[in-house]
Structure 1
Amino acid sequence: MAAVPTWTGREANALRQALRMSVTGFAEHLGAARRTVAKWSSQGNKVHLRADMQAALDTVLARTTPDVRERFAALVRAGTSDALADPATLPVRNTHTHTGGGGINDFDSDGDVRRRDLLTGMTISGITRPNAATLLQVLVAPRPRNDEPVALPLRQFARDVAAAKIAYQACRYEQVFAGLVALLPALEPTRADAEGEQRAQVDALASDLYHVVGSVLLKVGDKGMALIAAERSTRAASSSQDPVVMGASARIMTHALMSNGHSNQAQQLAEAAAETLRRGTRLASTDAVAVYGALLLRGAIAAARDDNRDHAKAMLDEASHAADRLGYDGNERWTGFGATNVLLHRVNIALTLGDAGTAIALARQVPLDKLGLAERKASLLVDVARAYTQWGRYEHGLYALRSAYEVAPEEIRCRPTVQRIASDLAVLTRGHVRSAVFDFAQHAGIRV
């Protein structure tokens, strides 16, 4: 069936009923607040959904079976009822009562979060073998009743979230997944045990945690579920009421929107979030400056993907001013932001705009000794490999891929972008270079 041009509450409710989900189940599947989904059900076409939720529903619909799509089309044609579905069709669940008001409980309440793991229906492909299947099973399988997660002390929870961030930036993705397996089930019990200022700290940590989830899902190519993780990060950040945390969470949302083909919305979100952060903090802290600059860089990439050269350049230049204001290459709020980071984005944007020669020239200016994060160094080398491949310098492209593999082997094994470059090189090269491409792909575990 044709895509939905604009999602209103009516179409969203039709999709929920076609999937035979309860309001609570559908809210959890989307990473939305239960009251939001209930509002769609009660107000129908009077409610027009936000761009990020439109994208999430696009993804959910695209992944449905033909039977579900047929039911959805019939419900849309007939007009869906404002009433909830017949209780006999709803999944059986256990309920419990949370303490406190607002925050994360708003989107996890009225359901047994302790029996839910990472994200329902998540699929991961391409993560380093042979442990991918085991990790996936642990992440998505319901926990047995006798294995209920327990709250963690706040200090330990903060350390574990930081460890997940560090492992992600070091491209140790198997370690990231192992950390998520332990952390995500403990999130809600930890928050339930927190009060007052500690509750806001847990909200901020939850935003960072879902940021990692979204980021690693984007690495392995699961764009739709990354968008849902980004939505959860955004909502947890809002509960924290910390403008820097909210700005940081907007970064993963812009990235997820871009990856799902919504570059214009991503650009607008990045620009708006950066301006909100500037007004709310006056950029009085290094954290605020770093997140502000990182948001501008995300917006610049989104503008380039939308072929808006002038806007991309303007946002890059403003990010450069922010880097000058910061004065050093750091990793405040896990941004890796600084003048070198701006230069890395100039490389990527030149490549995005189809100027491989400029991308190579800019890449030669990058001071590699200032790239302390393996993820950033590997991403630069992957961009260089793409540029050389576009430029017809295939042997140089292969060399860049090999260099990236030496820096971060898990990054090279899992990223769909790398697999596409390797496949292109396998097709485009001849003779000893082609043999070298196949040797490298076999060694790195890449299918070509």
Structure 2
Amino acid sequence: MTSVRRWTGREAGLLRQALRMSVRGYAAHLGVGIRTVSKWEKLGTGTCPWPDTQAILDTALTRADAAAQTRFEQLLAGPRRPLLSRTPVSAVDDHETWAEDLERIVVCLDRQDFDFAATLLERRLGRAQVRDLDDRGLYLYGRSLTLSGDLRRLQGTLQDLLTARRLYTDAHDLFTELGIPRRAAQLELSLAVVTEMSGRLTPAATRYQQLTDDERLGSADRARALLWIGTALAKDGRNTFAIQVMGQAAERFVELDEPEDWATAQQKLALAHRGAGDLTRALAYIDTARSNGRFESPLQRVQIDTAHGHILLTDRATRSAGNDVLDRASDIARQYGLNHQLRSIKSVRNSGEYV
């Protein structure tokens, strides 16, 4: 039986596949949270389970039946690109520190600490000699390109969006070459988001639709693609259809036990109902979103306040309160360099739609 010297998210995810379990079932089998399993599969070699969890994974592998152990060995071997020589120990050490830097970058992006994230990314991307990297190095380089694209997308100027598209495309090509289809598909989803943010709503909705049935993506990503179809439709004024699609996405998030995504769906449903002229339902949905979402990051706070302010601004009776909420959102967006959100707030103020 193959043993694992040190588990990373990649090996933990491959064991789930070998056991042929869902994310939820695997989490229950190990006694860990669903989000923990999702994090392993999202970050791959960029994350390592805690020592006690490493022991749990060892036990799960040992107790797996022979067929599952064989599948795990085959998945672990995987298609690999041939290397001309063994990876030197110094490169292995650098891989570990590189992976740690990527984890720090993810945290920085979640907090919208763009300056420090940019410093770490510039250090990694500027230092890497792509032609000299082994498979692990190329994977880390691809993840660095992806996170650099995320940074640009979150900052959200028009030039940032163009740069994000280029970075995502380069990362997509690299993961395709490495034979990592899930990462490639996730980048296709990110490229569709950039397309939507650039105002090209119909092609974005079409791409989202294609990805909702793409087996390379996990169930949660496919549900998000469905939700984002509704977002693009609502922005394009097709609110009735958007409400139907978003409702289906919200049901999927319930089935997948993804409460944060469900709360986001309620927020988007609120805006779609506002667009359809039903302010009573819009306020009900935004209250549900505010009550159930965590909204811990600056971006999340700006998004929920922008949606709430948009709804309040639509009714002349609550116009003053809406402006106050949008003022608060603008202050946070400006403080953290959230340029796309600032444009959205300006657009809301200029819409002039009142009932």
TM-score computed with the length of structure 2 as normaliser: 0.61
Please state how far the C-alpha of 1:364 moved relative to its aligned partner: 0.9
Aligned equivalent of 1:185, options 126, 133, 144: 126
Report whether the alignment pairs 1:320 with 2:320: no
Q: Do 1:214 and 1:256's aligned partners in 2 also have CA atoms closer than 8 Å? A: no
Please state how far the C-alpha of 1:326 moved relative to its aligned partner: 1.9
User: Whose helix proportion is higher, 1 or 2?
Assistant: 2
Q: Do 1:204 and 1:237's aligned partners in 2 also have CA atoms closer than 8 Å? A: yes
Structure 2: distance between partners of 1:251 and 1:280:
11
- After superposition, the Cα gap between the structure-2 partners of 1:181 and 1:275, relative to the gap in structure 1 and judged at 3 Å, is same
How large is the Cα RMSD of the aligned pairs?
Answer: 3.7
Structure 2: distance between partners of 1:240 and 1:351:
45
- After superposition, the Cα gap between the structure-2 partners of 1:380 and 1:200, relative to the gap in structure 1 and judged at 3 Å, is same
Could you say which residue in structure 1 is the equivalent of 2:41?
none
Report whether the alignment pairs 1:266 with 2:266: no
Could you say which residue in structure 2 is the equivalent of 1:144?
none
Could you say which residue in structure 2 is the equivalent of 1:378?
302
Structure 1: distance between partners of 2:247 and 2:178:
31
- After superposition, the Cα gap between the structure-2 partners of 1:406 and 1:262, relative to the gap in structure 1 and judged at 3 Å, is closer
Could you say which residue in structure 2 is the equivalent of 1:401?
326
Please state how far the C-alpha of 1:298 moved relative to its aligned partner: 1.9
Please state how far the C-alpha of 1:253 moved relative to its aligned partner: 1.0
- Note the 1:106-185 alignment, pairs <5 A: 153-185=94-126
Q: Secondary structure at the match of 2:112?
A: coil
- After superposition, the Cα gap between the structure-2 partners of 1:305 and 1:181, relative to the gap in structure 1 and judged at 3 Å, is same
Please state how far the C-alpha of 1:163 moved relative to its aligned partner: 2.5
Please state how far the C-alpha of 1:265 moved relative to its aligned partner: 0.9
Report whether the alignment pairs 1:291 with 2:217: no
Amino acid at match of 2:319: Y
Q: Deviations over 1:35-90 (max 9, x none)?
A: xxxxxxxxxxxxxxxxxxxxxxxxxxxxxxxxxxxxxxxxxxxxxxxxxxxxxxxx
Amino acid at match of 1:401: L
- Note the 1:5-404 alignment, pairs <5 A: 153-186=94-127, 188-189=128-129, 191-196=130-135, 198-199=136-137, 201-202=139-140, 204-206=142-144, 208-218=146-156, 222-276=160-214, 279-280=215-216, 288-309=218-239, 311-329=241-259, 338-351=261-274, 358-368=281-291, 370-374=293-297, 375-392=299-316, 393-404=318-329
Structure 1: distance between partners of 2:141 and 2:109:
20
Structure 1: distance between partners of 2:261 and 2:120:
28
Q: Do 1:304 and 1:352's aligned partners in 2 also have CA atoms closer than 8 Å? A: yes
Q: Do 1:359 and 1:387's aligned partners in 2 also have CA atoms closer than 8 Å? A: yes
Amino acid at match of 1:295: A
Structure 2: distance between partners of 1:368 and 1:220:
33
Amino acid at match of 2:269: R
TM-score computed with the length of structure 1 as normaliser: 0.49
- Note the 1:410-421 alignment, pairs <5 A: 410-411=335-336, 414=339, 415-417=341-343, 420=346
Q: Deviations over 1:386-415 (max 9, x none)?
A: 222233333212332354468666347744
Q: Do 2:208 and 2:228's aligned partners in 1 also have CA atoms closer than 8 Å? A: yes
Larger RCO, structure (CA 8 Å, separation 6 or more): 1
Structure 2: distance between partners of 1:405 and 1:306:
24
Structure 1: distance between partners of 2:196 and 2:296:
23
Structure 2: distance between partners of 1:423 and 1:345:
18
Structure 2: distance between partners of 1:306 and 1:405:
24
Q: Deviations over 1:203-222 (max 9, x none)?
A: 55145324313422426774
Amino acid at match of 2:263: T
Number of residue equivalences: 263
Structure 1: distance between partners of 2:323 and 2:176:
44
Structure 1: distance between partners of 2:301 and 2:236:
25
Amino acid at match of 1:390: T
Could you say which residue in structure 2 is the equivalent of 1:46?
none
Structure 2: distance between partners of 1:403 and 1:368:
19
Sequence identity (%):
11
Structure 2: distance between partners of 1:224 and 1:391:
36
- After superposition, the Cα gap between the structure-2 partners of 1:351 and 1:397, relative to the gap in structure 1 and judged at 3 Å, is same
- After superposition, the Cα gap between the structure-2 partners of 1:168 and 1:394, relative to the gap in structure 1 and judged at 3 Å, is farther
Q: Deviations over 1:256-311 (max 9, x none)?
A: 111223211111111212211xx346xxxxxx222222222222212223334454
Q: Do 1:296 and 1:319's aligned partners in 2 also have CA atoms closer than 8 Å? A: yes
Amino acid at match of 2:176: S
Structure 2: distance between partners of 1:229 and 1:240:
17
Q: Do 2:156 and 2:338's aligned partners in 1 also have CA atoms closer than 8 Å? A: no
- After superposition, the Cα gap between the structure-2 partners of 1:224 and 1:360, relative to the gap in structure 1 and judged at 3 Å, is farther
Amino acid at match of 2:126: P
- After superposition, the Cα gap between the structure-2 partners of 1:192 and 1:352, relative to the gap in structure 1 and judged at 3 Å, is farther
Q: Deviations over 1:129-176 (max 9, x none)?
A: xxxxxxxxxxxxxxxxxxxxx998223222323323322222333333
Amino acid at match of 2:245: M
